[in-house]
Structure 1
Amino acid sequence: MRITIPVARVLAALLAEPDAERYGLDLMAMTDLPSGTLYPVLHRLRAAGWLAAEWEPVDPSTVGRPARRYYRLTPEGVAAARQALAELRALAPDPRPGLGGAEPTGAPAW
């Protein structure tokens, strides 16, 4: 799975409460991603086995809105997401000079 910025945002949002079920509009608000970016990410995560999805068991005419599709990380997805985000953090240099990240030991702090 290629971890792009949108994928990392979705994984971080889902990992905030790994057992919680989230629906698309909820995830769009949490990630600041438009639907055209979010739903392809959700599809990729489902295809990889990291995400489970279920339709809300409601009658749309009774609740006055379409049924929602709820997403949650699978146990494999929780482990993989944590690992992927940890690896991503390890690659990112600390923006504060002299505080680690990608700077080699003994490198001058700019």
Structure 2
Amino acid sequence: MHDVKITITVAKVLKAFLEDASAPRYGFDLMRDTQLASGTLYPILARLEKAEWLTSEFEDIDEEAEGRPARRFYTITANGASSARIGLAELHAQIWPGARRFRLGHQEGTA
């Protein structure tokens, strides 16, 4: 398994998958939820799939009958979900290093 650098844009994609880790997602759906353009989203999906954080498969439809191409659905793997949660927590700690300390101090001060 490969390491994935978790940037803000990668974090948006991972967060979308973690909202319901068992739900397969397709590109347009992810573009809408993350507000990322296709030129940003699809390279991220490719990197996550290469790192084995995601798997993908095309839906089995009759494209002519449906009037559209088959969608490629992505699903986060169990290892991907675990790695994503850890990576997102680390990113959060980097961006807001005092957030946990502040919340704990605030709770202790109000008791």
The bucket for the TM-score relative to the shorter chain is 0.7 to 0.9
One of 9, 14, 24 as aligned partner of 2:12? 9
Higher relative contact order (CA 8 A, sep 6+): 2
Equivalent position of 1:87 in the other structure: 90
User: Does 2:17 align with 1:21?
Assistant: no
Deviation (angstroms), 1:99 = 2.8
TM-score, normalization: structure 1?
Answer: 0.84
2:60 is the alignment partner of 1:64: no
Q: Which segment is superposed worse, 85-94 or 54-63?
A: 85-94
SS of 1:88's equivalent in the other structure is helix
Gapped regions of structure 1 (runs ≥ 5): 101-110
Which secondary structure does the structure 2 equivalent of 1:54 belong to?
Answer: strand
Alignment: residue pair count: 99
The structure with the greater share of residues assigned to helix is 2
> 3-state DSSP class of the match of 2:84?
helix
Instruction: Work out the CA distance in 2 between the residues paired with 1:4 and 1:87.
Output: 11
SS of the residue aligned with 1:67? Answer: coil
TM-score by length of 2: 0.83
Deviation for aligned residue 1:5: 1.2
- Name 2:80's counterpart in structure 1: 77
Q: Which runs of 5+ in 2 are unaligned?
A: 104-111
